[in-house]
């Protein structure tokens, strides 16, 4: 890439990214103590990906998504997944109209811009498949007609790590369709003190106004595709991914028998897409290894499948990913 074209990309990013600070400020005013999580949700949205959130109840996951939709002035739907749910409850169905003698299409809640799929692992496999197919294809078929979903389109699905009875765990092949798996952690004491004060004294979060239009988000997504990726950074990404498949070939002999299945090519693609979005939020027209490391664990933690031996040793996917970052040389 020439200096001229890189300068041009930087100028386009500077003009198109003016909403980033306002969006972060609005989110952080409503959601306290989750700055990094908010950054990564914005990165996933800008890179046109979807998010799987894992965390205990009461950590403001619903408020987080609703605040984001208010700030972007888009349609928001919260869908509570239950064991008796049917695909038609999600996608929509055909209703017979006695007056006309024809079937009318009644669209389901999936026809929104931002979706919160609450406790996705409580619904049967056929409902999970319907959602994940809509996420991948960005269209829904009802009867004989196919309908495109609106843009931007972001699905944030939650699952509870502590209540596993009566759940239908997502298969690895379906989890792979989420760009990020984010772990929602407890806020620190200072942040929780602010949460306490905000929710026990008069405050009105409804005063949050939209700071960005859907068209600006789509424009940003297009610009992000033009962000430059150096060949050395590509090599770094490929080494990380291939190290999850053949750790011994990359000097990780201690991981022999630990990784059952490594990351898929979709992980390679999503790692670079997310790194580009992170570079955009930093107002850069190129990505660095630091961008890769910033999003690496979130892209890989649900794609690196560990063996029973690893579980017996109480190792997690995050432990393995941290080991990769320690050993694989940064260009």
DSSP per position, 35-80: HHHHHHHHHHHHTT--EEEE--TTSSHHHHHHHHHHHHT--EEEEE
- The predicted structure's pLDDT at residue 166: 58
Could you tell me if residue 4 is inside a domain?
A: no
Mean pLDDT across 122-144 = 88
Tokens of 278: 């992170």
Domain, as residue range, for 295:
228-327
- The predicted structure's pLDDT at residue 4: 44
Could you tell me if residue 236 is inside a domain?
A: yes
Q: How many CB atoms lie within 10 A of CB 259?
A: 22
Mean pLDDT across 263-275 = 94
Mean pLDDT across 121-130 = 88
Query: How far apart are the C-alpha atoms of 92 and 110, rounded to whole Å?
Result: 8
- The predicted structure's pLDDT at residue 100: 86
Q: Indicate whether 185 and 317 sit together in one domain.
A: no
Confidence grade of residue 325 (pLDDT, cut at 50, 70, 90): very high
- The predicted structure's pLDDT at residue 217: 93
Could you tell me if residue 6 is inside a domain?
A: no
- The predicted structure's pLDDT at residue 2: 44
Mean pLDDT across 177-200 = 85
- The predicted structure's pLDDT at residue 1: 45
Q: What percent of the chain has pLDDT over 90?
A: 40
Q: Indicate whether 95 and 136 sit together in one domain.
A: yes
- Identify whether the C-beta of residue 172 lies closer than 8 Å to the C-beta of residue 261: yes
Q: Indicate whether 40 and 189 sit together in one domain.
A: yes
- The predicted structure's pLDDT at residue 207: 62
- Identify whether the C-beta of residue 250 lies closer than 8 Å to the C-beta of residue 40: no
Radius of gyration from C-alpha coordinates of the chain: 21
Q: How many CB atoms lie within 10 A of CB 75?
A: 14
pLDDT in tens, 47-86: 999 999 988 777 778 888 888 888 888 888 999 998 999 9
Q: Indicate whether 132 and 29 sit together in one domain.
A: yes
Indicate if the alpha-carbon torsion angle 80, 81, 86, 91 is positive or negative.
positive
Which of the listed residues 154, 187, 220 is the one where a domain comes to its end? 220
Give the C-alpha distances (Å, rounded to integers) separating 12 from 9, 32, 270, 283: 5, 31, 23, 10
- The predicted structure's pLDDT at residue 223: 93
User: Which CATH number characterizes residue 293's domain?
Assistant: 1.10.8.80
Give me the number of domains the chain comprises. 2
Q: Indicate whether 49 and 114 sit together in one domain.
A: yes
pLDDT in tens, 193-229: 888 887 777 665 556 678 888 899 999 999 999 999 9
Q: Indicate whether 83 and 186 sit together in one domain.
A: yes
pLDDT in tens, 88-100: 999 999 888 888 8
Q: Indicate whether 34 and 171 sit together in one domain.
A: yes
Tokens of 58: 């009461």
Kindly report which listed range (152-156, 187-191, 268-272, 314-318) carries the lowest average pLDDT score: 187-191
Confidence grade of residue 165 (pLDDT, cut at 50, 70, 90): low
Kindly report which listed range (22-31, 141-150, 198-207, 322-331) carries the lowest average pLDDT score: 198-207
User: Which CATH number characterizes residue 169's domain?
Assistant: 3.40.50.300
- The predicted structure's pLDDT at residue 163: 61
Indicate if the alpha-carbon torsion angle 18, 23, 26, 27 is positive or negative.
negative
Could you tell me if residue 186 is inside a domain?
A: yes
Kindly report which listed range (177-191, 232-246, 271-285) carries the lowest average pLDDT score: 177-191
Q: Indicate whether 259 and 160 sit together in one domain.
A: no
Torsion angle in degrees (nearest 10) through CA of 180, 308, 250, 181: 0
pLDDT in tens, 226-257: 999 999 999 999 999 999 999 888 888 888 88
309 has a pLDDT exceeding 50? yes
């Amino acid at each position: 890439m020439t200096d001229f074209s890189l300068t041009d990309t930087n100028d386009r990013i500077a003009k198109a990214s003016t909403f980033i600070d306002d969006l972060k400020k609005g989110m952080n005013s409503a959601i306290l103590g989750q700055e990094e999580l908010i950054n990564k949700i914005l990165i996933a949205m800008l890179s046109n990906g979807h998010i799987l959130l894992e965390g205990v109840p009461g950590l403001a996951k619903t408020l987080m998504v609703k605040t984001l939709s208010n700030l972007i002035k888009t349609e928001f739907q919260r869908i509570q997944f239950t064991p008796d749910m049917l695909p038609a409850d999600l996608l929509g169905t055909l209703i017979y109209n006695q007056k006309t003698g024809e079937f009318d299409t009644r669209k389901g809640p999936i026809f929104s811009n931002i979706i919160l799929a609450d406790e996705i692992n409580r619904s049967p496999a056929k409902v999970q498949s319907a959602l994940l197919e809509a996420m991948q294809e960005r269209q829904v078929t009802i009867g004989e007609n196919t309908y495109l979903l609106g843009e931007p389109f972001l699905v944030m699905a939650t699952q509870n790590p502590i209540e596993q009875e009566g759940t239908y765990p997502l298969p690895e092949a379906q989890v792979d369709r989420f760009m990020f798996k984010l772990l929602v952690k407890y806020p620190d004491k200072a942040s929780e003190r602010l949460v306490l004060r905000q929710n026990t004294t008069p405050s009105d979060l409804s005063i949050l106004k939209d700071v960005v239009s859907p068209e600006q988000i789509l424009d940003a997504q297009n610009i992000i595709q033009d962000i430059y990726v150096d060949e050395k950074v590509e090599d770094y990404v490929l080494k990380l991914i291939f190290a999850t498949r053949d750790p011994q070939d990359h000097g990780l002999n201690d991981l022999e028998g630990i990784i059952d299945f490594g990351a898929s090519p979709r992980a390679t693609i999503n790692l670079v897409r997310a790194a580009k979005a992170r570079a955009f939020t930093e107002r850069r027209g190129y990505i660095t290894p630091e961008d890769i490391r910033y999003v690496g664990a979130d892209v890989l933690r649900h794609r690196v499948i560990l063996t029973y031996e690893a579980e017996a040793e109480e190792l997690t996917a995050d432990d393995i990913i941290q080991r990769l970052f320690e050993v694989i040389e940064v260009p």
